[in-house]
Amino acid sequence: MKNFKHIYSLSGGQDSTAMTVRALELGLPVDYIIFCDTGNEFPEMYDYLYALDTWLLKKYGIGITRLRSKDTLETLCFSPFTKGKRKGIIRGVPYASSMSFCTRELKKNISRNFAKKVDGAYMYLGYVARERHRMHEATEQYIFNKYPLIDWEWNEDNVSAYLKEMGIYNSLYDHFTRTGCMFCPKQTLASWKALYAHFPQQYKIAQSWEHKAKELNAHIKTFRSDYSLDDLAFRFERELQKEKNDKQIKFSFDWNEENVSCFCK
Ligand code: SF4
């Protein structure tokens, strides 16, 4: 127990970043800052993590330890199940509900193995105060989970303001309220729409994954159970066009209003 290390799990998202930086600022013990790379982060996230790593090293003398499985999200999706009743069937995209194979194999197992290698750990997780209900004990004897943001009563507003104040705000949050893998099936419709609107190349790649999953008759063929990304692309395009038109209509309305108002009143 005395050798347990303090490991901060950092995804690059605002919650885990604020948790880690605040702990360092408070002078709390931080032995490792680990980032589990799924190979499916936004290019902007990799750039952010690179900049953050440099900043952390300079300011606190500790950098980010990047951990990676031999697989990426993509290789996992297009490889077969290796056991159970689906053995031999291509997995396809991850499940949208419950813990999917991606979380287990690309994040949980990787960080767990790291904690085991360093003789056990307090694992610090960036859940905000309103996520208190998600707190859980680690199932391994050599890991104790800790939730500093919950202890500090910090929610999204606090972490966002804190990162802005520290000058390390992640600009992906200009488009998304949460971050994670680009093609995470757990993201909301609004998040898929932001991907479509602001990262069209990545959206196309996500569509191609669904096409491939269908061709291979994979277990899960679409990221969402209600719509395919092709269906959504059609819907998003119409919505975005309408939003653009509404703005133009509003503009012409304002213009007309200005014309009818009296300058001398
Ligand atoms: S962010 Fe989403 S896709 Fe990535 S590992 Fe987690 S659940 Fe899977």
Backbone angles phi, psi at 59, to 5 degrees: -85, -40
pLDDT tens digits, 114-135: 999 998 999 999 999 999 998 8
77 CA distance to ligand 1 middle (Å)? 12
Pocket flag, ligand 1, residue 178 (CB < 6 Å): no
- Tell me how many domains the chain contains: 1
The CATH code of the domain that includes 141 is 3.40.50.620
Pocket flag, ligand 1, residue 179 (CB < 6 Å): no
Which domain, by its residues, includes 10?
Answer: 5-260
pLDDT of residue 226: 92
Pocket flag, ligand 1, residue 102 (CB < 6 Å): yes
Task: Confirm whether 35 is domain-assigned.
Answer: yes
pLDDT of residue 137: 86
Task: Confirm whether 57 is domain-assigned.
Answer: yes
- Cβ neighbours for 219, distance < 8 A, ≥ 6 positions apart: 81, 86, 89, 90, 91, 92
Task: Confirm whether 265 is domain-assigned.
Answer: no
Show the low-confidence residues of the chain (pLDDT under 50): 253, 255-265
Could you tell me if 67 and 110 are in contact, meaning their C-beta atoms sit under 8 angstroms apart? Answer: yes
pLDDT tens digits, 2-12: 689 999 999 99
